[in-house]
A = this chain, B = another copy of it.
């Protein structure tokens, strides 16, 4: 197996969370299997941000899939990046897409998509889905598998 840990600067260290998304540093590591098209999925059920109008907290369950090219996202920096939305105001559609674009710009992936499943406000939750392109031919991509909101009963 390949060993690709040389340039990791955050894994195994205690780091303070960045205070807003723009200042958060996303890191990348070389993809040891760049010879093939495979998918890496991150599932983040612990996402929270603020409503830019009311200042009240919002919550979301995020699923991020990508086909790496030369780079993998370093997972601890991804966690810190997502944590940086904690006290930052952003609309649901915008926030979801912004996260995806940051990863796209960092990784130049062969393909990337995001699903943002937001907790209900006013009884009607919003979900947001985007992929950068159609998936590369012959790549295996399972469904998100997140349950549709159903209220009670």
Contact = CB atoms under 8 A, between A and B. Distances in A.
A125 B53 contact: no
Contact of A152 (B31, B118, B138): B118
Contacts of A148: 43, 63, 144-146, 153
A57 B16 CA distance: 11
Q: Classify the interface of chain A: helix, strand, loop or mixed.
A: loop
A54 B123 CA distance: 15
A56 B36 CA distance: 28
A94 interface: yes
Contacts of A115: 140, 142
Interface of A: 1-5, 8, 11-12, 14, 16-17, 21, 31-33, 36-46, 48, 52-57, 59-61, 63, 68, 72, 75-76, 78-79, 82-83, 86-87, 90-91, 93-95, 97-98, 113, 115, 117-134, 137-153
Nearest to A128: B40
